[in-house]
Amino acid sequence: MSKAINERYDFKQVHDFVPARLISRWTRQILDDAENWKPRKSYYTYGRLYYSDIQSDNIGAYHGDAPKDNALLDKLPSMRAYVLEAAKHLPSLALLNGGKPRVLSRRETTKTSCWCDYGIHIYTPLQNSSVGAHVDFELFAPYPEKMLNRDTICYSMTLAIACPASGGGLIIWPRQKVWANMTPEQWPEALWEDKQELGYSPGTLSLFNSFCMHQVEPCQISRKAPWRITLLTHFLYRPELGCWEYWS
Ligand SMILES: O=C(O)CCC(=O)C(=O)O
């Protein structure tokens, strides 16, 4: 087995990945630009997330507005640089000569402008932040064959920007991967006990195997900490291209 394969992990966190001053600047900028928040079922998005747009039947708008949404997020200083920096924490399966990971947006691999690179979730004080346990199978929608293939290597990234007064991290069930042809009801009871709580504080990077069931931890807000804001994207390993491809 190659070294790179040995490096595969189920989840990883890097605390203080983004400095506090930059996090505060992003938070202010996102909160000040509420006119660009898009309402979803139980939260808002800033930019777009493919799976939440599919769930909201907005797939045409997702693709049509992608150039505008990417431009909106590029106004947040250095955010893209941090997404690319996060890729250095992925298993080193796709390396350039200098040992740097080869990371391409789906816009680059498809040579089209209609994919969003990353998106932001905003939970507001009036909304319940807890999302039921799920796997984002929608993220594999462009590649249904990969959703069913146990050789697929895909990691989801979250970056905590604003955190509620307590809770609001991520719960993941790492040991058993969930494939599209297996439902959680088929899990043995004991498996549900086998979970990990990944705490968030502003600036925390989390990467986890996208086939792991996960859930936003319930949270409590206060007047001083009324928001839960996270950046999300996904990195799919494309062995045929020798790169990580990312889109949200
Ligand atoms: O906001 C997060 O921390 C993760 C959200 C999530 O579970 C998801 O988008 O699938």
In the chain, what are the domain boundaries?
Answer: 10-247
Ligand 1 site, residue 135, Cβ cutoff 6 A: no
- Angle (CA) 26-221-79 rounded to 5° is 15
The CA 215 to ligand 1 mean position distance, Å, reads 7
The pLDDT value given to residue 137: 81
Residue pLDDT, tens place only, 41-57:
778 999 998 877 776 77
Write down the pLDDT at residue 236.
Answer: 96
Q: What's the average model confidence in pLDDT over 90-94?
A: 87
127 SS3 class: coil
Neighbours of 68 (CB within 10 A): 12
Check pLDDT > 60 for residue 6. Answer: no
What is the full DSSP assignment across 163-177?
--SEE--EEEEEEEE
Q: From the CB of 121, is ligand 1 less than 6 Å away?
A: yes
pLDDT at 127: 57
The Å distance, Cα 2 to ligand 1 centre, comes to 31
Whether residue 236 contacts residue 245, with contact meaning beta carbons closer than 8 Å, is answered with yes
Residue by residue, DSSP assigns 27-89 as HHHHHHTGGG-EE-SSSEEEE--HHHHHHTT-HHHHHHHHHHHHHHHTTSTTHHHHHHHHGGG
- Average pLDDT across the chain, whole number: 88
How confident is the model over 185-218, as pLDDT tens digits? 676 677 778 899 999 999 999 999 999 989 999 8
DSSP 95: B
Decide whether any atom of ligand 1 lies within 6 Å of the 233 Cβ: no
The strand ranges marked E within 33-148 are 38-39, 44-47, 103-105, 119-123
DSSP character for 226? Answer: -
Q: What is the pLDDT of residue 52?
A: 79
Q: What is the pLDDT, as a whole number, of residue 2?
A: 47
Rounded to the nearest whole angstrom, what is the distance from the C-alpha of residue 241 to the centroid of ligand 1?
Answer: 28
131 — pLDDT class (breaks 50, 70, 90): low
| 158 Cβ below 6 A of ligand 1 | yes
3 Cα: distance to centroid of ligand 1 (angstroms): 30
> How many residues does this entry show for the chain?
248
CA pair distance 125, 122, nearest whole angstrom = 10
Cα of 94 vs centre of ligand 1, distance in Å, is 25
228 Cβ closer than 6 Å to some ligand 1 atom = no
Of 77-81, 146-150, 227-231, least confident by mean pLDDT is: 146-150
CATH architecture of 10-247: Sandwich (2.60)
Using the predicted structure, report yes or no on whether residue 1 has a pLDDT greater than 50. no
Q: Provide the CA 91 distance to its chain's centre, in angstroms.
A: 16
Judge if the beta carbon of residue 216 lies within 6 A of ligand 1.
yes
